[in-house]
C-alpha cells in the first residue's frame, strides 16, 4: 500500500521555520474546508505553530505547501500521480521534496448539501468524502495522531518542534467497506439517538462513507397507508383473508403482485425527491419473521421446493413450508429490473435482508448485480450460535458462508444480543474472534457492516471498538500491530497490565458466551465472579502503580477503572435483584437504588466511560435490575410438530 524511499525529508515546520501553508481547493464543500482547518489545528498541537489555511490558488506559488484536494496546481506539481480516481472513496497522499498533496475522490452537489431526514436536517452532505478521509489518514499514518476513544482524554498527539516527512511518498487506498457509518449506527451522520461518538467515528473514517445501510425492514407503515385502498397487496392468509397478521407493523406483502412493485417505485421516487443522491432502496419484508407470509399461488411458486423446511405460522395455524430465500431474491430481482428500466444509467440498488425464514441461501435464485443482500448473520461476538428457525441445525456462520458463495457482494448486518453484558456496559469483549470475523467477512466481498447495536461503553469495550474501526477502513491491516500500538499509545508503561486485564476478561468470556449466548442478565455473575473481579482489580492496580500519578497514562488507567467499577456495581445489583424478585425486601431495594446512584455518578465522573443513556434502569436493557423496573416476561418457547417429509 505504501511506496516510500527515505531519500530526503520534507520539513513542514521546525523551531526556526514557520509551518508551510495549507491550500484547500476553491469552492470546496464545507466539510472539506473544515478538514483543512482540523489539519492545521493538529499541526499546531504537535509543533506549537499553526499553519495558515488558504482557499483557492494562492497569488504566488509558495516554496512548499500542503495541498488539500485535487486542484489545478497539484497536477503540475505531481505529474506522475494519477488524480483521476477509479474507485469510490479512493484517496492519495503524495509528497516530493517541496510539496504534499492530500486528496481523494469527492462527489457532492453544491445545490443539495443540506438533506432533510427523520433525524432533522443534515448539513454538508456529500456522496463521497475522499479528501476528508485522506486528511484523517494523513494525520494518523504520517503525523502519528491517535483517537483512542472519544473526548480529550482519548486523543493522543505526539509533540515535536520539527515535523517532517520522508520523501518521496506515494500512498493510495480505496476502502472495500463502502458502508461503514452504520457500524457505529448511534453515531452515524445525523443520528441524534444514544450516540456520543460522532466526532470519533468521523476521525476514524467511518461516518463519512459512500453507501448507507438501512438496518431495518422496508414496509412497516404500508398497512396503515394502503390496506383500505389496496387490500390486495397484502399477504394472502390460509383462511383466505388478507388480514395483516400478525399486526399492522409486521404485515407481510403479496410480493408477486405488480401493484406492490408499482407502489414501491413510487416510494423510490418520493425518497429521491427528498434526497436526489440516495442510491440504496429497501425492499426487505417486515419483521415477525415466522408469521403471516403470503400463500398465494404465485408467491408460493417463487419458493423452491427443495428449500430448507421451515415452520411458518398464521392465525391459529402452523405449517412447514420451504424457506423464503428464493422468493425474496426473486422479488428483489424484479424490483431491481424495474429500477433499471425507470432510471437507466443510475447506480441504484435494491437492499434485501436475509433474515428469519430467508436466512438459508436460496436453491436456485441468484441476486442480480443491483441487488445487495444484507445478511442478518448473528455471529458477531457469538460462536456456534444456531439459527432458531433452522430445522437443519444451521449456525448463522454456516448460513453466511453459503450466501458468500453465490453473491458478488453483500452487507453484513448482525444483531449483537448481550451474551456477557454487551448491552449493560460490561466487558463483553471478543477481540480475537472479531479480528477473524472482519477479515473473513472482507474476504467474502462484503461492502459494508451494520451492527445492531454498538452501545458505546468505552471503558469496558474500547479496545474492541478501536480494532473494529481500523479494520473497517482497511481489513488487510495488521491487527496485532494495531492493538500493540493502541495499548502503548494509550497507557505507556502500564500497557502490559491493561492489555493483560482485557485479555484475561476475554479469555473467561469466550467459553461463557458460547454456552450462555442468550441466557439473560441473571447468569452474568457466573462469569464475573468475585475471584475474576478481584484478579481484574489487581491487574489495574499494577497498571496504576506503573505510571506517574499525575500523568495522562494514569488518567487513562483511571478511565478503565471506571469500567471495572461499573462492572462490580452491576454484579452486586444483578445478584441482589435476582433474589428480590423472589422475595421483595425493602432493604434490598434501598441498596439497589444506592447502587444505581453510584453507577450514574461513576459514568458522569468519567465522560464516555459508560454511555449512561442506554444502561439506565428504565430502559429495556435494565429490565429486572431495579425495584421499579420488573423483568421482561419470558415468552414461552413454541414447539412444532415438524413434518419434514
Whether 387 has a pLDDT exceeding 80, the answer reads yes
The whole-chain average pLDDT of the chain stands at: 94
Q: For the whole model, what pTM was predicted?
A: 0.95
pLDDT bin (cut points 50, 70, 90) of residue 637 is very low
pLDDT bin (cut points 50, 70, 90) of residue 518 is confident
Residue 212 has a pLDDT of 85
Rg of the chain (C-alpha set): 27
Tell me which DSSP letter residue 218 carries. S
Residue 213 has a pLDDT of 83
Whether 15 has a pLDDT exceeding 90, the answer reads yes
Residue 635 has a pLDDT of 54
Q: Which of 98-102, 190-194, 236-240, 241-245 has the lowest mean pLDDT?
A: 190-194
pLDDT bin (cut points 50, 70, 90) of residue 639 is very low
- CA distance readout (Å), 102 to 42, 315, 325: 15, 61, 45
Whether 528 has a pLDDT exceeding 70, the answer reads yes
Whether 216 has a pLDDT exceeding 70, the answer reads yes
pLDDT bin (cut points 50, 70, 90) of residue 634 is low
Whether 645 has a pLDDT exceeding 90, the answer reads no
Q: What is the pLDDT of residues 347-382, one digit of tens each?
A: 999 999 999 999 999 999 999 999 999 999 999 999
Whether 549 has a pLDDT exceeding 90, the answer reads yes
Q: How many helices (H) and strands (E) does the chain have?
A: 17, 20
Whether 383 has a pLDDT exceeding 70, the answer reads yes
Q: What is the pLDDT of residues 411-456, one digit of tens each?
A: 999 999 999 999 999 999 999 999 999 999 999 999 999 999 999 9
pLDDT bin (cut points 50, 70, 90) of residue 3 is very low
Comparing 227 with 518, the larger pLDDT belongs to 227
Distance CA 164, CA 383 (A): 46
Q: What is the mean pLDDT of residues 387-405?
A: 96
Q: What is the pLDDT of residues 191-204, one digit of tens each?
A: 888 999 999 999 99
Whether 237 has a pLDDT exceeding 70, the answer reads yes
- CA distance readout (Å), 66 to 101, 125, 135, 186: 6, 25, 11, 34
Cα dihedral 76/78/84/85 (nearest 10): -150
Distance CA 408, CA 565 (A): 46
Q: What is the mean pLDDT of residues 380-398?
A: 95
For 154-275, strand residue ranges (E) read 155-156, 163-173
Residue-by-residue DSSP string for 126-138: -SEEHHHHHHHHH
Q: What is the mean pLDDT of residues 154-170?
A: 97
Distance CA 397, CA 547 (A): 43
Distance CA 328, CA 334 (A): 10
Residue 519 has a pLDDT of 79
The residues, any chain, with a CB within 8 Å of residue 453's CB and separated by 6 or more, are 185, 186, 416
Residue 56 has a pLDDT of 94
pLDDT bin (cut points 50, 70, 90) of residue 95 is very high
Whether 638 has a pLDDT exceeding 60, the answer reads no
Look at phi and psi of residue 25 and say left if phi exceeds 0, alpha if psi is from -120 to 50, else beta: beta
Q: CB-based burial of residue 52 (10 Å sphere; 0-12 exposed, 13-18 middle, 19+ buried)? A: middle
- CA distance readout (Å), 637 to 41, 388, 389, 515: 57, 11, 12, 19
Tell me which DSSP letter residue 250 carries. G
Whether 644 has a pLDDT exceeding 80, the answer reads no
Amino acid at each position: 500500500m505504501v511506496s516510500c524511499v527515505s531519500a530526503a525529508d520534507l520539513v513542514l515546520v521546525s523551531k526556526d521555520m514557520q509551518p508551510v501553508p495549507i491550500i484547500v481547493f476553491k469552492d470546496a464543500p464545507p466539510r472539506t474546508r473544515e478538514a483543512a482547518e482540523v489539519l492545521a489545528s493538529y499541526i499546531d498541537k504537535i509543533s506549537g505553530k499553526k499553519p495558515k489555511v488558504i482557499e483557492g490558488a494562492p497569488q504566488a506559488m509558495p516554496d512548499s505547501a500542503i495541498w488539500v484536494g485535487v486542484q489545478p496546481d497539484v497536477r503540475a506539481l505531481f505529474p506522475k500521480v494519477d488524480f483521476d480516481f477509479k474507485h469510490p472513496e479512493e484517496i492519495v497522499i503524495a509528497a516530493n521534496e517541496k510539496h504534499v498533496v492530500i486528496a481523494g475522490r469527492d462527489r457532492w452537489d453544491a445545490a443539495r448539501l443540506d438533506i432533510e431526514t427523520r433525524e432533522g436536517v443534515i448539513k454538508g452532505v456529500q456522496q463521497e468524502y475522499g479528501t476528508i478521509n485522506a486528511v484523517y489518514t494523513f494525520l494518523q499514518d504520517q503525523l502519528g495522531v491517535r483517537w483512542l476513544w472519544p473526548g480529550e482524554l482519548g486523543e493522543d498527539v505526539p509533540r515535536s518542534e520539527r515535523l517532517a516527512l520522508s520523501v518521496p511518498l506515494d500512498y493510495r487506498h480505496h476502502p472495500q467497506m463502502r458502508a461503514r457509518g452504520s457500524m457505529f449506527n448511534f453515531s452515524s451522520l445525523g443520528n441524534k439517538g444514544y450516540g456520543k461518538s460522532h466526532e470519533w467515528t468521523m476521525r476514524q473514517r467511518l461516518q463519512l462513507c459512500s453507501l448507507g445501510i438501512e438496518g431495518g425492514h422496508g414496509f412497516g407503515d404500508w398497512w396503515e397507508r394502503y390496506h383500505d385502498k389496496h387490500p390486495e397487496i397484502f399477504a394472502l392468509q390460509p383462511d383466505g383473508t388478507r388480514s395483516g397478521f400478525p399486526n399492522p407493523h409486521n404485515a407481510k406483502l403479496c410480493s408477486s403482485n405488480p401493484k406492490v412493485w408499482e407502489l414501491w417505485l413510487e416510494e423510490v421516487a418520493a425518497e429521491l425527491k427528498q434526497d436526489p443522491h440516495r442510491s440504496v432502496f429497501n425492499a426487505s419484508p417486515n419483521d415477525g419473521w415466522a408469521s403471516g407470509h403470503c400463500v398465494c399461488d404465485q408467491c408460493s411458486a417463487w419458493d423452491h421446493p427443495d428449500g430448507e423446511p421451515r415452520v411458518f405460522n398464521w392465525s391459529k395455524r402452523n405449517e412447514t413450508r420451504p424457506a423464503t430465500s428464493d422468493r425474496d431474491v426473486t422479488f428483489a430481482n424484479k424490483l431491481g429490473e424495474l429500477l433499471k428500466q425507470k432510471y437507466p444509467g443510475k447506480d441504484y440498488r435494491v437492499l434485501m435482508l436475509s433474515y428469519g425464514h430467508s436466512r438459508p441461501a436460496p436453491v436456485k435464485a441468484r441476486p442480480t448485480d443491483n441487488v445487495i443482500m444484507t445478511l442478518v448473520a448473528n455471529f458477531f461476538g457469538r460462536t456456534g450460535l444456531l439459527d432458531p428457525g433452522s430445522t437443519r441445525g444451521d449456525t448463522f456462520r454456516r448460513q453466511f458462508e453459503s450466501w458468500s458463495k453465490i453473491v458478488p457482494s453483500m452487507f453484513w448486518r448482525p444483531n449483537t444480543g448481550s451474551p456477557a453484558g454487551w448491552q449493560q456496559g460490561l466487558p463483553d469483549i471478543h477481540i480475537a474472534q472479531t479480528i477473524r470475523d472482519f477479515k473473513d467477512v472482507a474476504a467474502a466481498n462484503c461492502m459494508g457492516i451494520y451492527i445492531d447495536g454498538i452501545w458505546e461503553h468505552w471503558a469496558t469495550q474500547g479496545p474492541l471498538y478501536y480494532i473494529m474501526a481500523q479494520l473497517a477502513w482497511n481489513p488487510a491491516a495488521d491487527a496485532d500491530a494495531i492493538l500493540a500500538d493502541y495499548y502503548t499509545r494509550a497507557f505507556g508503561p502500564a500497557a502490559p497490565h491493561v492489555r493483560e486485564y482485557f485479555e484475561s476478561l476475554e479469555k473467561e468470556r469466550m467459553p461463557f458466551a458460547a454456552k450462555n449466548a442468550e441466557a439473560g442478565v441473571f447468569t452474568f455473575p457466573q462469569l464475573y465472579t468475585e475471584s475474576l473481579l478481584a484478579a481484574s482489580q489487581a491487574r489495574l492496580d499494577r497498571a496504576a502503580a506503573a505510571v506517574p500519578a499525575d500523568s495522562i497514562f494514569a488518567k487513562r488507567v483511571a478511565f478503565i477503572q471506571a469500567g471495572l467499577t461499573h462492572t462490580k456495581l452491576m454484579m452486586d445489583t444483578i445478584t441482589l435483584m435476582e433474589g428480590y424478585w423472589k422475595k421483595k425486601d425493602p432493604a434490598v431495594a434501598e441498596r439497589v437504588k444506592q447502587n444505581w446512584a453510584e453507577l450514574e455518578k461513576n459514568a458522569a465522573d468519567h465522560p464516555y466511560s459508560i454511555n449512561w443513556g442506554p444502561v439506565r434502569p428504565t430502559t429495556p436493557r435494565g429490565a429486572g435490575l431495579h425495584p421499579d423496573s420488573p423483568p421482561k416476561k419470558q415468552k414461552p418457547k413454541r414447539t412444532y410438530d415438524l413434518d419434514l417429509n
